[in-house]
Chains A and B, each alone.
Chain A
Amino acid sequence: MAQPLIEVKNLTKTFDGHPVLDGVDFTLHEGEVLSIIGKSGVGKSVLLKHVIGLLTPDEGRVLFRGRPIDGLTARQKKAYLGKISYMFQNNALFNSLTVQENVAMPLRYNPSVEREHIPDRVMDHLDQMELRDAARKYPAELSGGMQKRVALARALVTQPDIVLFDEPTTGQDPIRKNAILSMIAAHQQKSHFSAILISHDLPDVFFISNTVLALYEGRVIFDGSPEEFDQFDHPFRSEFVQSLELLQQELNGLYSRRQFKIRYQTDLFHNPQNVAYTVAVFMLEDRQRMTEALGHPATQELIAAMGTFINKHFSDVGGFSTRYSAAAFVTVLPFAEMDEARRLIEAFVDDLTTSGVARLARVRPADGTCAAPVEIAISAGLAQGKAQIALGEVIASARENQATIARFNVACREKKE
């Protein structure tokens, strides 16, 4: 197996006799996104600060490519810090500098970056974060969400190999939270950085994570994939998970994935009568193109509106739904055979084209302009499920049967260059 990029071994930290971290172990591999979850005060930020060397452990070590960071020479330490960037929980923006100057800061003091390239790189990142108009403003003149995006732009402008995000979505509304996570995911897919991300936003954060690390009272109680986390059990699970994961998703009022699975398990999977059910998967097609044209917040608004519409329509006929991935929803229609399910989907398409599309088409960027004309396509796929068949298999079959069910245009003026 490849050598881990970062390895934390038996890390222990005590403040004023109070243990904060107690023998924490984890590894981060190249290109991986690791999410650290846990209640407030369990030492998540302290753990992240050890990784970058802002704090030194009482016991244990942090290894970078197998070498302890406390044993690196000055040159090696410089090289390590050059590969890593940190987005602080409270943004840590310089109030006396403009947005543009804040983002340029890590480049200006980097001798390997040519000065004439700095303005272009900065403006590129501000464009990606939809902050061009705020370039000459000071952080105090911006909303909390915009400040978060400035901090995100500053963390990414150096094109780091590793990014540490300390609660990048705290204090944001559900649309903004998902927009920021979507921005992080888009950058990660483009530049393939590895990331450690602290977040309370379950399950949204799972859509962009490869690994989840759960901390409880300074110890790691779970280290595995988001899918494994759904099965995760712990004596304090209810206290731990319910405090983090709401029963319904904030973004669209759908069941959380956990609640969805619980209902599926109780109603259908263990059903002794072996009743049939149908799974429908709905997707917003070509999300990347949509995001490029509409921007991250409007795309998230569209996803939220679609989720709300699906939930409202199918809960009236006894179905239950959840957000399955970044732009996909799964609805289970209990006791419905395929024929009946097809009729329900046809009724849904009618409802969507008569009232839903009009509602979805109203979503647009805040300034009413788009980078390009935007056509939105929604696809759906159906598959029959039975008790004792894993839900994942049924969903996979439904995805194979995807076909476009609706197309509409978002009415926005084209951006003038």
Chain B
Amino acid sequence: MSSTPAQNEAKAFRIIGIVPRFFRSIGAYGVRWVDNFGAATIFFLMSLAKIFQRHQLANIFQQIYFIGARTMGIIVLVAAFTGMVMGLQLHYTLSKFGSEAALGSAIGLSLVRELGPVLTAIMITARAGSAMTAEIGIQRITEQIDALYTMQIDPLAYIVSPRVAAALLSFPLLTALFDVVGIAGGYLSGVMLTGADAGAYYERLYDSVAWIDVLGGFIKAFVFSAIVVTDCCFHGFYTHLQPEGHGARGVSLATTRAVVQSCVLILVADYLMTSFLL
């Protein structure tokens, strides 16, 4: 059955209508993103300011234990294997050009400037960040955050500020641990297993890795800590406001979103900072 001109016209309008709808949804997404970015920045700054209130020390130590101390194991494991893989790969690559002696420099600079802060931040996001979002999200849906308000306890100061303080302290320290263990892992596979010269490894490492590189790595770790803790706490704290799901499903969506968004933001921020620090 053939369509009437009116039906054809309506169909054409429907097809053409897709274009403005597409741009409208991109615009709406952009506006929401900017809106959330602004809200998250204020959220971070307010939490930062409330670190220095009364009764915070015990909570901060508790969070340092959770975010910092309890993540050490996984950091050591990931750092050791990252260093060992780099030792093998770089030894293989450099030996093609007869530059095995540069193994120490290559591993040291890659870890200290780049991989150390990035992988540490991603591992903390996976272990502690997801737990932060889920825990705060559950506190929100079970009205514990409302209960704090009714008891005149500032929820931001009680829940978020200790985590912000702990993250700002733990990220650089865990990054340092990652660097040290990674370099040792590189030594293990590059020198002890594949036969590169041990003296050259340390000599070149010592010569090429400058304090400015270490400082750059710490600056990155510091920025990543702010990104991860803000993103994870923000998503947990406002679990109830997300439109897609409420209750347990809302918490699971918030946790997934926080982890994915944190990882993406770590890589984006890493690129931006590298381009400035180089």
Candidates B55, B144, B150, B158; contact of A52 at CB < 8 Å: B150
* Contact across chains for B152 and A109 when beta carbons are under 8 A apart: yes
Q: With an 8 A cutoff between CB atoms, is A82 at the interface?
A: yes
Which of B54, B142, B149, B153 interacts with A90 by CB under 8 Å?
A: B142
Contacting residues, chain B, for A406 (C-beta < 8 A): none
Contacts A78-B152, A81-B150, A86-B150 given: A109-B55 contact, CB under 8 Å? yes
Instruction: Flag if A92 contacts B152 (CB, 8 Å).
Output: no
CB-based nearest B residue for A109: B153
A88–B153 touching, CB < 8 Å:
no
Provide the residues of chain A in CB contact with B46, threshold 8 Å: none
Give CA–CA (A253, B144) in the complex, Å.
Answer: 37
Residues of chain B at interface, number, CB under 8 A: 14
Given the interface pairs A94-B144, A109-B55, the reply to whether A84 lies near B150 with Cβ below 8 Å is yes
- Interface assignment of B147: CB less than 8 Å from any CB of chain A: yes
- B270 contacts the other chain (CB 8 A): no
Least CB distance from B125 to A in Å reads: 21
- Max count, chain B CB within 10 A of own CB: residue among A85, A106, A109, A111: A109
B120-140 interface mask toward A, CB cutoff 8 Å, 1 = contact, 0 = none? 000000000000000000010
**Does any Cβ of B come within 8 Å of A388's Cβ?**
no
Taken together as a complex, chains A and B put the C-alpha atoms of A49 and B150 apart, in Å, by 10
B197 within 8 A of A: no
The answer to whether A92 touches B55 (Cβ under 8 A) is no
Given contacts A90-B142, A92-B142, A92-B144, contact A106 B149 (CB under 8 A): no
- A109 and B144 alpha carbons, distance in the complex (Å): 15
- Interface: B49 (CB within 8 A): no
Neighbouring A residues of B151 by C-beta, 8 Å: 85, 105-106, 109, 158
Of all chain B residues, the one with the shortest Cβ separation from A52 is B150
Does chain B have a CB within 8 A of A54? Answer: yes
Chain B contacts with A in 40-99, Cβ cutoff 8 A: 54-55
Interface set, chain A 59-86, CB cutoff 8 A to B? 78, 81-82, 84-86
**Contacts known (A108-B55, A109-B55); A92 close to B147, Cβ less than 8 A:** yes
With A and B bound together, what is the CA distance between A155 and B261 in angstroms? 39
Nearest residue (CB) in B for A105 is: B151
Q: How far is the CA of A110 from the CA of B54 in the complex (A)?
A: 11
Which residues 93-131 of A have a CB within 8 angstroms of B? 93-94, 105-106, 108-111
Enumerate chain B residues within 8 angstroms of A93, measured Cβ to Cβ: 144
Closest Cβ of chain B to A90, distance in Å, is: 6
| B9 is an interface residue with CB less than 8 A from chain A | no
Does the CB pair B150–A54 fall under 8 Å?
A: yes
Give Cα A49 to B149, complex, Å: 11
Most buried by A among B54, B142, B147: B147
> Do B55 and A85 have beta carbons less than 8 Å apart?
no
- Nearest-neighbour CB distance to chain B for A170, whole angstroms, equals 14
Which residue from A90, A105, A106, A108 sits with its C-beta under 8 Å from B143? A90
Bits for B1-37, please: 1 = Cβ < 8 Å to A, else 0.
Answer: 0000000000000000000000000000000000000
Return the contact of B146 from the options A84, A88, A94 (Cβ within 8 A): A88
Please indicate the chain B residues that have their CB under 8 angstroms from the CB of A90 in the complex.
142-143
Residue picked from A92, A105, A111, most chain B C-beta under 10 Å: A92
CB distance from A119 to the nearest CB of B (A): 16
Q: Which chain A residue lies CB-closest to B153? A: A109
* Contact digits for A372-388, partner B, Cβ 8 Å, 1 yes 0 no: 00000000000000000
Per-residue CB contact flags for chain A residues 21-64 toward chain B (1 = under 8 Å, else 0) read 00000000000000000000000000001001010000000000
- Cβ-defined contact, A88 with B152, below 8 A: no
A80, chain B: closest CB distance, angstroms? 10
Cβ contacts under 8 Å, A158 to chain B? 151
Q: Give B151 Cβ to nearest chain A Cβ, in Å.
A: 4
Give the CA-CA distance A52 to B142 in the complex, in Å. Answer: 17
Chain A: CB-nearest residue to B62: A96
The answer for the CA separation of A90 and B247 in the assembled complex, in Å, is 13
**In the bound complex, how far is the Cα of B80 from the Cα of A312, in angstroms?**
78
Compute how far the CA of A108 lies from the CA of B58 in the bound complex, rounded to whole angstroms. 13
Contact present for A81 and B144 (CB under 8 Å): no
Query: Within the complex, what minimum Cβ distance (angstroms) separates B137 from chain A?
Result: 13
CB distance from A411 to the nearest CB of B (A): 42
Which residues of the other chain, B, contact A85 by a CB distance below 8 angstroms?
150-151
Question: Is B143 in contact with A88, judged by CB distance below 8 angstroms?
Answer: yes
Instruction: Tell me, in angstroms, the Cα distance from A106 to B149 when the chains sit together.
Output: 10
| CB-contacts of A324-378 with B (<8 A) | none
The reply to whether A110 and B146 form a contact with Cβ atoms under 8 Å apart is: no
A81 CA / B150 CA spacing, docked (Å): 7
Alpha-carbon gap, A109 to B58, bound state (A)? 13
In the complex, per-residue mask of B153-173: 1 if CB is within 8 Å of any chain A CB, else 0? 100001000000000000000
Q: Which of B147, B150, B152 contacts A110 (CB 8 A)?
A: B152
Chain B, Cβ-Cβ closest to A88: B143
Chain B's closest residue to A111 (CB) is B54
Please indicate the chain B residues that have their CB under 8 angstroms from the CB of A81 in the complex.
150, 152
Instruction: Give chain B residues whose Cβ lies under 8 Å from the Cβ of A88.
Output: 143, 146-147
- Tell whether, in the assembled complex, residue A92 and residue B146 are in contact, meaning their CB atoms are under 8 Å apart: yes
The CA of A86 and the CA of B150, in the complex, are separated in Å by: 7
In the complex, per-residue mask of A395-411: 1 if CB is within 8 Å of any chain B CB, else 0: 00000000000000000
Closest chain A residue to B145, Cβ basis? A92
Closest to A81 in B: B152
Rounded to whole angstroms, the CA-CA distance of A78 and B154 in the bound complex is 11
For the complex, give the distance between the alpha carbons of A108 and B54 in Å: 11
A110 to B150, CA, bound (A): 12
Query: Which residues of the other chain, B, contact A106 by a CB distance below 8 angstroms?
Result: 151-153
7 A–B contacts from the bound complex (CB under 8 Å):
A49-B146, A86-B147, A88-B143, A106-B151, A106-B153, A109-B55, A111-B54
Query: Which 4 residue pairs across A and B have the least CB separation, nearest first?
Result: A92-B147, A106-B151, A86-B150, A92-B143
- The residues of A with any CB-CB pair to B shorter than 8 Å are 49, 52, 54, 78, 81-82, 84-86, 88-90, 92-94, 105-106, 108-111, 158
| 14 extra A-B contacts, CB within 8 A, seeds A54-B150, A78-B152 | A81-B150, A81-B152, A84-B150, A86-B147, A86-B150, A88-B146, A89-B143, A90-B143, A92-B142, A92-B143, A92-B146, A106-B152, A108-B55, A111-B54
